[in-house]
Structure 1
């Protein structure tokens, strides 16, 4: 069973390591490729704009007559 934290070579897909990382440079012993890996940043939550509730029709824009 493959672990989600397995680190594989980008060229030959050999499993190089297992774990978590922020930044990592590792050379593949099979093909010699130097793999540079960097953790992705999570997308920030977006705050929703406030939406005040209107209590009367006076707040609505009037169309010209």
Structure 2
């Protein structure tokens, strides 16, 4: 299912010696509507990583989350 988009923040980062990049943070409403799902992506040369975190105990146990999506476990 697609999650309801709430907010996006993009922050510049000077990098760690390999050049500058950005850190992207997107916030979504969780499926039950009571919590938030946060997607974070480090787009910094040599340190590209991403992760999705659910700040709702009920939904965190029921769903696997991606960038703006949720699927039942």
TM-score, structure 2 length as denominator? 0.27
Larger strand proportion, structure 1 or 2? Answer: 2
Larger relative contact order (Cα-Cα within 8 Å, sequence gap ≥ 6):
2
TM-score, structure 1 length as denominator? 0.29
Max Rg structure:
1
